Amino acid sequence: MQNRNKVNFPKVLIATAGALLANSIVFAIGTSAGASWDVGQPFLVGIAIVLGATALPMLLGALVAGFISGKWSKAQNWFAWGVLAFSVVGSPSGWAASGQAATGLALAAMHIVVGLAWFWAIKPTKAEQAI
């Protein structure tokens, strides 16, 4: 039996664009609030890193999820919930790395934005499951 759950790539592109916009706004708000964007790396977190760390996981993840969900019928649902949980659990990492409230809160918000965008894009709706 062929799996009918397929990743809706136009929906992934819309979710990615929304996450890029939202994370750009969070970056601007964080910068206005005095975020240092220092997370203990040899470089500061900049807008290019924010945009890349938003788009690449969303787009590459969708390709992987699409491939695997074509082989395993439950994978798409697991990917949706698993990445959402991972993004929520990982959201305090920015605070831990920076030790600064503005940077930590902004990075945590960005993790949540990507997790929610991913969940919306990947979780099959009842209508998509019925196709």
Within a domain: residue 34? yes
pTM: 0.89
Work out how many domains the chain is built from and give that number: 1
Within a domain: residue 94? yes
Query: Residue 3: phi, psi to the nearest 5?
Result: -70, 130
| Model pLDDT, residue 127 | 66
Structural domain that includes position 110: 9-130
Within a domain: residue 54? yes
| Model pLDDT, residue 129 | 63
Within a domain: residue 2? no
Within a domain: residue 112? yes
| Model pLDDT, residue 2 | 52
Beta-carbon contacts of residue 43 (< 8 Å; ≥ 6 apart): 49
| Model pLDDT, residue 1 | 43
Within a domain: residue 1? no
Within a domain: residue 30? yes
Within a domain: residue 3? no
Beta-carbon contacts of residue 93 (< 8 Å; ≥ 6 apart): 107, 111
Q: What is the pLDDT along the chain (131 residues), one digit of tens a residue?
A: 454 568 999 999 999 999 999 999 999 999 999 999 999 889 999 999 999 999 999 999 999 999 998 888 789 999 999 999 999 999 998 888 888 999 999 999 999 999 999 999 999 877 666 55
Q: Are 78 and 12 in contact (CB under 8 A)?
A: no
